[in-house]
Chain A
Amino acid sequence: MSRRAITLWLLEALVGFLLLVGGSAVAASWISGSGWSWLPSWIPEHIWWLPVLIGVVELPFVVIEPLWRYAVHRWELADDVVYARSGWFSRQWVFVPVSRIQTVDKEQGWFERLLGLATVEIRTASYAGSSSIKGLDVGVAARLAEDLAHRAHELRDDAT
């Protein structure tokens, strides 16, 4: 996991934060201007607290999430099994034997391109045996994807 992954997650969290606060502000203006009579009167009057509240609660997480993720995310390739741990608030461990891999993709999103990072997508015939390893250095990702594809071809097991 490259250290720049923290920056990547920070950028993503910021975008998410802005969308969430912006969206709730739009909803608030809609509700306050709607004049719905079935709502108790205190709701439209104080609806502008909604985006403020969301903003205040969410803001710390914009910083916490990237750091937490960096502490959790790990990957390893050993004995022809890919192991990946991810998540922050909730966690996920994925074990994928190389012999069952069907495709390996290396992807670069917009932010990842900026930061020289890449994601390796490992797919098997099942969603529960598929994993994406985010925030890898481009060179590391390219090598991993190459190795996996090569090895998967050698070990291909068609029992599925």
Chain B
Amino acid sequence: MTEDAGPSGQHNRSGVPGAQGPSEPSSEQERRAGPWAVPSRLSPLVLLIDPVRMLPSLFFPLAGVLFVGGFSPSSFVWAALGVLGSIGYAAVRWATFTYRIAGDRLELTRSLISRTVRTIPLDRVRGVDVTTPPLHRLFGLAVVRIDTGASGGDKQEGELDGLPLPEAERLREVLLRRSRATHPDVGAVPGAGPAAGTAPALPSGPSHAGQPAAVEERVYARVPWRWLLYGPLSGAFLFTPFALLGGAIGLAFQWGNEFGLSERAAIGVGEWLWHRPILLVLAGIALILAMPLAGAVMYTVFNWNFTLRRRGSSLVAGRGLITRRSVSLEHSRIRGYEIADGLLERRAKVARLWAIVTGLGDSRTRGQLLPVVPRRFALQVAAEAIGPFDAELRPHPSVARRRRLFRAVAPGVAVAAVALLLGWVAVGVLGLVVAALGVPLGLDRYRSLGHAYDGVRLSVRSGSLPRSQAVVERRAVVGWTLRQTWFQRRSRVLTVIAGVGAGSGGYPAIDTGEEQGVHFAAEVTPEWITPFLSKN
């Protein structure tokens, strides 16, 4: 939480408190805001957490004071003053920060010297994250992060660091319920799947809103620990050891500077290593051996006890061993899902699942619904939690296969040709090997291509090493782009991109036949396309 209000937040610098006058909340709104209608503070337990969290940043200054002071009594007094000061600062920050729900907005007030009010209209709230870092968990606290879907970075987001966990959960429910009530038009999700039948509709109109006796909950998936073994198949975590090594080197440099080790020493170490190549080779082998292991460990730590459930009208995905992270996605903002499986994952018949959500930044980490799980299970969960898709994907014309093959093979051939022309035989051979590998790759890319529409949702699939299939609701489509390069025109194929105001923004069906592609767009949104067909 910063002192300044974001661009949409309203400054209210002392003098006239409440000058921007939040509309007097009606008794109805008072009731719905629950206990938060009056300004509330964070849990005082954060006072125990804050100083501990400040320790790392205090360590070097304190050590410095003690060293410079030669561990004299006065230096200890100064160090103690420093620690006390930081505790006092934390206490003042705690005492001066309040939050409340005033009418239709959440107000975060910090009155340290001047009074700063950050106002978040509840209808802007798009998602609420509840995370419990290790220290917080020790005291039963949680961090609540409010996502407003604003594109201007984190300026407009709100953070409540240190609420008792049950209160955090209740607050999330209230915030999301309010944001939903202001969008009754998007509340009704056509074809929300079996979930719609089992979860009773929550009050969405202001007329019959009230504290629900108990929040409706339903568990879609609880990933058993055995499935964590699939993790390394995704490949992404295989690079973890290198990332760790990089981090360690960076840290060594940083700490080295603190302890007076110069860059010259570091270069010296590098040279020393360079003259003992056997050590470097051994280190490399160790890293390569460590990759699957470290990958598996990291994956396990991040995805421990992954659960996906419906809570009220949000999908909540919880995961993590050390820091437990739980992301709430408002159901009415989910427009579809993406299911991805790499080459190895397809062999093992496993896949990963993401939600396609409007106005969700960083959707690849925050929108994740399932880690690597059996594909059949992922499809089943997607159908239950978001909605079924049951149309066969239509294959693309065989010209597309030739084009995929050409694109996979040509770069290797080109490199080989240039290299052999220049007389670099080794590079040339390497190019030929890459070109040969391009053949199965191209064929597989062609097999992945497909598109379909089942009356409610459309789907496109492409890729090979990472293959992904997107399933998007028809109402989320905001437009179409049809693209045809000169080469595509000669092959009579084109690429149809469904513009969607969520996820990656556009989902392409690559190299469909000319007729086929136009027909696909016209099938999904006939009223937009057919008027122009006769003229072209």
Using CB atoms and an 8 Å cutoff, list the residues of chain A in contact with chain B. Answer: 39-40, 76, 78-79, 81, 83, 89-97, 100, 124-131, 158-160
B481 touches A93 (CB 8 A): yes
Bound-complex Cα distance A100 to B499 (A): 11
B185 touches A90 (CB 8 A): no
Q: Which residues of the partner chain A approach B137 to less than 8 Å between Cβ atoms?
A: none
Least CB distance from A94 to B in Å reads 5
B470-528 interface with A by 8 A CB criterion: 475-486, 488-489, 497-502, 505-506, 508, 521, 525, 527-528
B481 touches A94 (CB 8 A): yes
Known: A40-B422, A130-B499, A158-B185. A95 touches B529 (CB 8 A): yes
**Pair count A-B, CB < 8 A:** 111
Bound-complex Cα distance A90 to B532 (A): 20
1/0 per residue, CB under 8 A from A, across B334-366: the answer is 000000000000000000000000100000000
B527 touches A79 (CB 8 A): yes
Q: Which residues of the partner chain B approach A131 to less than 8 Å between Cβ atoms?
A: 479, 481
B200: CB under 8 A from chain A? no
Residue of B485, B499, B500, B506 most packed against chain A (CB within 10 A): B499
Which residue of chain B has its CB nearest to the CB of A90? B485
B15: CB under 8 A from chain A? no
Known: A126-B505, A127-B499. A160 touches B480 (CB 8 A): no
B183: CB under 8 A from chain A? yes
Q: Which residues of the partner chain B approach A93 to less than 8 Å between Cβ atoms?
A: 480-483
B478 touches A100 (CB 8 A): yes
Bound-complex Cα distance A158 to B478 (A): 11
Which residue of chain A has its CB nearest to the CB of B535? A76
B483 touches A91 (CB 8 A): yes
Bound-complex Cα distance A160 to B505 (A): 11
Least CB distance from B332 to A in Å reads 10
Bound-complex Cα distance A95 to B502 (A): 18
Which residue of chain B has its CB nearest to the CB of A160? B501
B478 touches A95 (CB 8 A): no
Residue of A91, A92, A160 most packed against chain B (CB within 10 A): A160
Which residue of chain B has its CB nearest to the CB of A40? B422
B479 touches A96 (CB 8 A): yes
Known: A81-B528, A158-B186. A129 touches B478 (CB 8 A): yes
Name 24 interchain pairs, CB-CB below 8 A, sorted by A. A78-B531, A78-B532, A81-B527, A89-B485, A92-B481, A92-B482, A93-B483, A96-B478, A97-B527, A100-B479, A100-B501, A125-B501, A125-B502, A125-B505, A126-B478, A126-B499, A126-B501, A127-B499, A128-B480, A128-B499, A129-B478, A130-B499, A159-B475, A160-B501
Known: A40-B422, A92-B483. A81 touches B531 (CB 8 A): yes
Known: A91-B483, A96-B479, A97-B528. A128 touches B505 (CB 8 A): yes
Which residue of chain A has its CB nearest to the CB of B501? A125
Q: Which residues of the partner chain B approach A130 to less than 8 Å between Cβ atoms?
A: 479, 499
B423: CB under 8 A from chain A? yes
Bound-complex Cα distance A131 to B358 (A): 21
Known: A79-B531, A96-B479, A100-B478. A158 touches B486 (CB 8 A): no
Q: Which residues of the partner chain B approach A100 to less than 8 Å between Cβ atoms?
A: 478-479, 501
